[in-house]
Amino acid sequence: MKRASVNATTLADAMDVSDTAVGKWIETGKIARDRIVGICKVLGCSSDELLGIAEIADEPRSEPVKLFTKERRADDHVVALQLAFESLLKVVLQRTRGSAAEFLAESEENARAYRFSDTQGFLGRAAGIAIEVRDIEAAEAQAPQPADPVKRTKRGK
């Protein structure tokens, strides 16, 4: 709002909302999707600039971006858990030969039973890991095994 020389009251009037509503938008960073285009018109910025996705080129940020809101922290925790689970899954599947194929079969069966897509979201990522491990095992099984070294004996004189 500083860039566009618009104060909260002016924005509230232009958007036909209360000053309190604008204050909440500023405080929490939560803006209803149907309001974004109108706010951008009033402020003279793009939606990416408004949402902090793109930097505003002609003015350095005077205030830090709120990256660590409660909602963002919760999302970060979910992502961290997913990464940890994926790493653990890969290690377990790699250490137990044949388990990747079993895991895939069982996860596909469970996905059908609960009407989930086994190719999307977290289940899809887990299936991708299992497929990767299964394919590595299959390639190793088909790879030619090195021949035993020929034992050479010294012939006596």
Q: For every one of its 157 residues, what pLDDT tens digit does the chain have, with 9 covering 90 and above? A: 445 567 788 888 888 888 888 888 777 777 777 787 888 888 777 777 776 665 545 555 455 445 446 666 666 777 778 888 888 888 888 888 888 888 888 888 888 888 877 677 777 888 888 899 899 888 888 888 776 666 666 665 5
Show the tokens assigned to 58.
Answer: 């002609």
Q: Which residues contact 17 (CB under 8 A, 6 or more apart)?
A: 35
3-state helix vs strand vs coil in the chain, percent to 5: 60, 0, 40
- Sequence spans of domains, the chain: 1-66, 70-142
Cα(64)–Cα(154) distance, integer angstroms: 78
Token couple for 8:
């909260």
pLDDT at position 2 is 46
Question: Number of helices and strands (H, E) in the chain?
Answer: 7, 0
State residue 55's pLDDT score: 55
Instruction: Provide the whole-model pTM.
Output: 0.44
Task: Choose which CATH entry (1.10.150.530, 1.10.260.40, 3.30.390.10, 3.30.470.10) describes domain 1-66.
Answer: 1.10.260.40
